[in-house]
Structures are given as C-alpha cells and as structure tokens.
Amino acid sequence: MKLHLSDSRIDRVLLTGDEIAAQVADLGSRIVADYAGRDLVLITVLKGGLFFLADLCRSIDLPLTVDFMAISSYGPGAESAVRITKDLDDPIEGRDVLMVEDIIDTGLTLNYLMRVLRERKPASLAVCTLLDKDVRRLVDLPIEYRGFRVPDRFLVGYGLDLDGVWRNLPYVATLHEEVWER
Ligand code: IMP
Ligand code: MG
C-alpha cells in the first residue's frame, strides 16, 4: 500500500507539513512565554497525539517532562464510555499540566480525561490541540492553545489514522467521503 498522494482514497492535502511546522513553532513560543519558571508536564493520549507532542515539545525551550496515557472508547457518540488502558507513569499533583491533543471532535474524550486529571490536583491544567473540529463539539471545553480549526471531514495524517494506518503522513489530508462513512 502506498502512503502518499497517489493513494486514490486521499482527497486533498488540508495542511501541509510546512504549515503545520509554522503553527507548531508559534504555539511553542506562546507556551514558552506562558510557562517560563513553571513545572511543566506535557501529556498526550496515545497513539494519535504522539506525533504532535514530539514536534511541539522540541519547539518549547523550557525544562519539561512528557507523560502518556492510552484509552479505549466504546459505544456511540454521547453514550460512549472511555476506559484508561495505560495511565500516566508519574503523579501530577502540584505540577503545571498541558494536555496535548491531535484533534478535538465532540470533546467527550478530552472532557472525561480532564475530569480524571483535575482530581489529581495539578497546579494548573490547560489544553493544546493541533486541530479543532469545533462544529462537532458536544461539550463546552476551554482550549488555551489551538493550531487550526478544521471542517467536519474525516482527516488522516500527522497522527490521525483510519484503522491504525496513515498516522505517519507528514501532512493532514481529507479522505474521499466514500472511504469513511460515519
Ligand atoms: P472526541 O471525543 O469526539 O473529541 O474524539 C476525539 C478523538 O476522535 C481523536 O483523538 C481521534 O482519535 C478521533 N478523531 C476525531 N476526528 C478524527 C478524524 O477526522 N480523523 C481521525 N481521527 C479522528
Ligand atoms: Mg486521539
């Protein structure tokens, strides 16, 4: 299987690698300005968030640590339940937590995770998402750092997958509608 644009299932490139890199650098400098002198930990949810986090943390010129969670969600839409299949390695009590996400869609997953993390009493808790599919949002969720607003299309690349594949595309692309049916 070819991974690049010759794959006929890919419709078009929505965000090029260069556009993403410029936005990541910008988010990084805003985070540096806001978190200088604090005790920053970047957290993401495997596997999609890993790619953004890896680039973002290298544009943050501050001491920081990274930690990871993994989840599985089951059930449709608003009734969907989230189970943590891999928890953080370290406590976050008293630390400045930045939750790093590849994409926020309905917001239900992140809303659940934010509740779980808040119970652990971090000094602060904020969200940085690369992509925001905000027309689909079902819960009110403050987002401190946002890379791009994106349309209600199924996206792949830069961490986003369809059935586990396409995460390693260096850009974000839309698929033809018939490939992905909700
Ligand atoms: P939410 O709970 O609806 O916000 O779900 C967010 C999760 O859904 C993301 O972390 C992705 O795993 C997945 N997701 C949402 N939209 C897309 C997409 O366009 N492509 C790939 N995965 C997506
Ligand atoms: Mg995800």
Q: Taking the domains of the chain in order of start, what are their residue ranges?
A: 20-151
Cα angle 43, 44, 49; round to 5: 150
AA identity, residue 70:
A
Pick the residue whose CA is nearest to atom 23 on ligand 1. Answer: 160
36-88 pLDDT per residue, tens? 999 999 999 999 999 999 999 999 999 999 999 999 988 776 667 889 999 99
117-175 pLDDT per residue, tens? 999 999 999 999 999 999 999 999 999 999 999 999 999 999 999 999 999 999 999 99
Catalytic-residue membership of 105: yes
Strand duo 40-46 + 172-175: pairing: unpaired
Give, in order, the Cα–Cα distances in Å from 85 to each of 4, 7, 73, 88, 122.
32, 33, 10, 10, 21
Mean pLDDT of 16-23: 98
Q: Which alpha helices (DSSP H) does 58-155 contain, by range?
A: 108-118
pLDDT at position 59, please?
98
pLDDT at position 179, please?
78
Mean pLDDT of 89-111: 97
Sign of the dihedral defined by the CA atoms of residues 41, 44, 47, 49, in that order: negative
Q: Does domain 20-151 bear CATH number 3.20.20.10? A: no
Confidence of residue 34 (pLDDT cuts 50, 70, 90): very high
Residue 4 has pLDDT above 60, yes or no: yes
Neighbours of 3 (CB within 10 A): 13
Residues 6+ positions from 135 with CB-CB distance below 8 Å? 151, 152
Share of the chain above pLDDT 90, in %: 85
**Annotated catalytic residue: which of 96, 102, 105, 132?**
105
Residue 180 has pLDDT above 70, yes or no: no
Ligand nearest to the CA of 133: 1
AA identity, residue 64:
L
CA 165–ligand 2 middle distance (angstroms): 13
Q: Which residues line ligand 1 (CB under 6 A)?
A: 48, 102-110, 133, 154-155, 160
